[in-house]
Structure formats: C-alpha cells, structure tokens
A and B are shown apart, each in its own frame.
Chain A
Amino acid sequence: MSAKASEERTADVMTPEPPVRKRTSGFVRFWRNYGLAVLFIIAMLVIWELWIRIFDVPKYLLASPSGIWNSLQKDWSRYLEPNLWPTLGEILIGFGISVVAGVGLAIVLHLFAPLRRAVYPILIGSQTIPIVVLAPVLVILLGYGLLPKVAIVALICFFPIVVNGLDGLRLVDDDFIAMMRTLDATRWSIFRKVEFPGALPSIFSGMRIAATFAAIGAIFGEWSGSSEGLGYLIQASTPNLQTARIFAAILLLTLIAMALFGLVSLLERIFCPWVSRGGVL
C-alpha cells in the first residue's frame, strides 16, 4: 500500500492516491489455492487403482476408481440421477429452513436477554440427542415422504448456525457500541449497523459447518424409511454387493456437500468483502 507511506509524510499537502487493488488471473489463484490438493487427489486415485489391479481385489469387495467411473456412466440415468434430485431437494430445503430459522432465533435471543437465558440451555441440551435415534421417530411422526428428511436436515444444520450466530452477535466489541451510543444510535440502529454486520462472518462460519452436516442428515432420514434418494440407493445396493454403485452414490453426496460449502463461501465473499480469506474453501 504505497498510498500509506506517501500520506504520512505530508499532512499539509495531502493529495494521496486511493489504493488500487491488484488482480491476479483466476487460474493462477485457483492453482495457488488448490493445486496441491488436486495433485494429492490424483496421486491417491492412482495408488488406489494400482493397488486393486496388482493385488486383484474382487470388485464386490472394493471398487476401483475406474470401476466407479464406469458405474457413474452406466448407472447414471437408471439409478443415480433419479435418486440424486430427491436428496438434493431434501438438503437444500432443510438447509434453507435451518439458515432462516437459525439466524432468526440467534437474533431474537440476542435482542432479548431473558429469552436467551431461558432457551439457550434447552438448545444445548437438545444437541445431546443423537440424530440417528431421532430420525426414525420423525419418520413415524411425519410420514414416509419428503417432510421427515427435510426436518432432520434442518435439525442437524440448525445448531451450528444458532450457536455461531449468537457468539458472533455477543462478541461484538463493546467500544463500538459505546461509540454508536454517543452518536445517538438507537438499539435497533446499533444492531443493524454494528452487531449484525459484525456477526456476519461468524454466521457464515456456522453455515459452512452446517453445509457439511446437511448431507449426513439427508442420509439418516432416508435410511429410516424412504423409497428414493441416494441414501436409499446405497441401502438398496448393499445386499446386491453393487460396490461401485455405492461408491458412485457416495461421490455424488460428497460433491453436493462440497458445492453447498462452496456456495456458502461464495456468499460470504459477496456479503463480507472486508474479511480477507485465502481461498474459497
């Protein structure tokens, strides 16, 4: 930042130039951030493939990368694609609900301290109930369709968003609030201009954690009773020893979770441009 240095010298003739942001090309940035990860993945796949070929591992025991690739092409239209969309739907709807409800609850609890003290312990306590046991109960309660899966995804995503949101709101520097008070800010104005923007990076952290949980929630839901979805496909393929298809389904699940994570990171970049981060992930 050359503008800094030149400005310090002359307080009288203050004609510094605003800083210009340096741009690097997208490919260079991508390679710098993820190059090593890409190389590592390729190395792993090669070793995996060679291992299976050299030791002649039966394909019903462990699928090879090439076997998974074949399954992706062969099973795509018949098995994978029809089951991809229901799971994607469950994840997106459940995640969306948990973001709205989680951020909303964090704000309400932050603004009304007595309510926070009343609800917070229950919130923590609710997290000790394993989602695995809760899933069948929700299926009994809400039926066989989309609803229980969405509910489970939302439940599993909800907690990190609320807790991170509350922490973010609570940890805003008191000096900022004092400063705003001497500038005639109302409680609402302090919330809107200082606390909420200050808590946004924290809220996004919670959302990123939630994004990685969402797929797990959808699978739990589907295992507890369903007739479609990637979780259902994995469950149905296991007795038939369709190992490659199982791996292909897992790969798709991973891709969904990573895409959701990337989407949250992208949104953070758009809404919190003042926070500097290395890469997207």
Chain B
Amino acid sequence: MGERSVGVQRGDLPASESDTVGIAFDGVGKAFGDVVALDGVTFQIERHSRIGIVGPSGGGKSTLLQLTAGLLEHDVGSINVEGETSTQGRLSRCAMMPQRDLLLPWRTALDNAMIAVENRGVSKKDAREQTRPFFEHFGLAKFEDVRPDALSGGMRQRVSFLRTLMAEKDILLLDEPFGALDSITRGQMQEWLLRALGDVPRTVLLVTHDVDEALLLSRTVVVMSARPGRVVTVIDVGMQTEGLSRREIVTSPEFIALKEAALEAIE
C-alpha cells in the first residue's frame, strides 16, 4: 500500500483510513460454471490513479470490472473498494461506462447525461440545470435536445462518459469505452479523454484490448492473460506527457519501448 496521498479530496466523500487505497484485489477468482474467467488476481490501485488493463479478448477483463462495481459476486478472494467490501458498498463507489454507450433512445442527450443526478432525487428541472453547463466542455453544445439516434458514435460516447461523470463517484470503470468506434474517431476520443480525466481527480480503471490506448490513458498498465485471466505483469508507464499531443506521445521512443514490453507480455 502506498503512502498517504495528498491528492485533492472531494467534500462529499468521507475521509477514512482508506484514503490511499483506491481498489485492492486479493486472490480474486471467478468462474461461470466450468469456465474459469479469473484466477488469483492480485493487485492494488492507489486512490486517484489511472490503471489500464490490457489482455486478449475473453480474458475476464470485463468480469473484473463488473466484480469491482459489485454487479457480480466473486467466488474466492477479496475486493476492497475504498474500504467497501460488500457488493452494495462497492456499487455505491463505482460508476461504469460500458462499451456500448447504452443511451436510452427515448431520452434526449441532456436527459441521458443527467440520469445519475435524477437518481439522487434531484428534480428533472434542476438535474438539467446541473448537467447543461458540461455540454459545451464535452463538445456537445446545441445537441442537448437531440435524441441519441441522431448523434454520431463519438458524440454518443461523450454523452455516455458525461453521464458516468455526473454520478460523482470516486471510481470510474471504463469498459472498452471506444471499442465500437472507428480508429480515427477513437484516436480523437482518446486525446479528449486524456484531457477530460486530467480535470477531475478520480480513480480510473480502464479495460481495453488496445495497448496504445492503455499506455496513453493510464499511469500503470496491468497485462492480463487469456482465460483463465491472471495478472501477467504490471508496467509502470511513468512517462511525462504533460503538454504533448497524442501523436507526439504515441510516436516517442519511450512509448514504443513500453508498447513492446506490453505486447511481449501479452504473448
């Protein structure tokens, strides 16, 4: 466990002894019938750090996120999310952004983005007022009252991400957030997300099969094996990316070296 962090504390979260530990997995295993999805997964995530999880498809990465969020119960081991170990407790700390944007087709972009605010008991009108200011920043201005079917894939993902952020959870679980986008849009969204995440101190757990995406968006990359999912290696990215564009980062020798290490670990 790391040292006591001096990161920005958000007022609505109780300060406790779990201040420094974001998420701790200890020997976590999960099987679906005879299929072992995860086996002996152990690693820790410091609060307000960003972790990328890469690995081949079907390696139980998404299962790990669902376990973290408390949407599933693990078979063995323990999961500690900011001191919470019960499924309900974990659920209260995590917000998940799924691969499919899962926008409700009967709600406008604004009404989709504000759904977590509404769920806190805020009236529709007030929830709209709280959410509207973010649309400009998310490149969604003027699209507040447009239904999802008229939005592009990139915009839908941004609405989905805003909806996740509006839940005001300390932990963001991003499950292949740009997996459904074409590669150009995907690159733009990664760059955008890099900046968006810089603005808010959150613990981010990003699952992806794209090594570039993991290295670009996280400070630590956990490489997992194919089924049964185990932790193969943990790569500390530790690159200085401040002020650099996505293109400059992904083409730097440092980045390429890290990528090679990660790809080697996956094989």
Contact = CB atoms under 8 A, between A and B. Distances in A.
B189 interface: yes
A182 B120 contact: no
Interface stretch (B44-52, B146-154, B216-224): B146-154
Contacts of A181: 71, 91
Interface stretch (A156-164, A185-193, A213-221, A243-251): A185-193
Interface in A7-23: 7-8, 11-12, 14-19
B98 A3 contact: no
Interface of A: 1, 3-4, 7-8, 11-12, 14-19, 173, 175-176, 178-186, 189, 193-194, 197, 200, 272-274
B176 to A, nearest CB: 13
Contact of B98 (A18, A179, A273): A179
Contact of B91 (A18, A173, A182): A182
Nearest to B142: A18
A241 to B, nearest CB: 55
Contacts of B147: 274
Interface residues of B, number: 45
Interface string B94-121: 1110101010111000000001101110
Contacts of A185: 115, 119
6 contacts: A18-B143, A178-B98, A185-B119, A189-B119, A273-B106, A274-B149
A8 B184 contact: yes
A182 B142 contact: no
B235 to A, nearest CB: 27
Contact of B104 (A3, A4, A194): A194
A12 B138 CA distance: 10
A182 B169 CA distance: 9
A8 B100 contact: no
Given A18-B143, A19-B146, 18 more contacts: A1-B150, A7-B152, A7-B154, A8-B152, A15-B141, A175-B98, A179-B98, A181-B71, A182-B71, A182-B96, A182-B167, A183-B164, A184-B92, A184-B119, A185-B119, A189-B118, A193-B104, A194-B104
